[in-house]
Amino acid sequence: MRSGKRILSEGNSKPGAFFDLTKIYYHRLKWADDLKEVKDQILKFAPTVPEEKTYFYYDMFCERLKGKAEPTTSGHGSIDLIVPGCHKASGIRRLAERWGISPEQCAAFGDGRQRILKMLQYCGYSYAMENAAPDVKRAAKHICPSNEEDGVLVTLEKLFF
């Protein structure tokens, strides 16, 4: 969203802890009691589900929202419902075109599942974290240390210094 992410929940009260936690990642987060109040383009919804049911809900969203929204997940109860075709790889592609660089000059890191495979396949420097799922490791050109070992920072230091 251009003007900031908004969230909505049942009822008219802000779930304080959830709102505060989410605001860490979305600095321009604003409260909306009704989606009709939102005068902006909505790029994604981010429902949180019970962790053990993440893939149940992911599969359900895939089936029910086909063509209307594209579900992605990194597991752990987090699901994003995005505009079809508006994923990380398409964002990197747009930036590369704007900056006049090739995919071979782009770098990407990931440990999630479906949401990053296209991005890893697009970038010339693609890294799966050591703790990544097997399908992510297959999609990447390289493996770097895990998140717990600061794999992204370690690898960037090797690439740039």
**What is the structure's pLDDT at 11?**
45
Q: Which two tokens stand for residue 72?
A: 């992605």
Q: What is the mean pLDDT of the chain?
A: 85
- pTM, 2 dp: 0.67
Does residue 5 carry a pLDDT above 80? no
Q: What is the mean pLDDT of residues 23-47?
A: 84
Cβ atoms within 10 Å, residue 124: 13
Question: Could you read off the pLDDT of 129-140 as tens digits, one per residue?
Answer: 998 888 899 999
Rounded Cα distance between 115 and 121, Å, is: 12
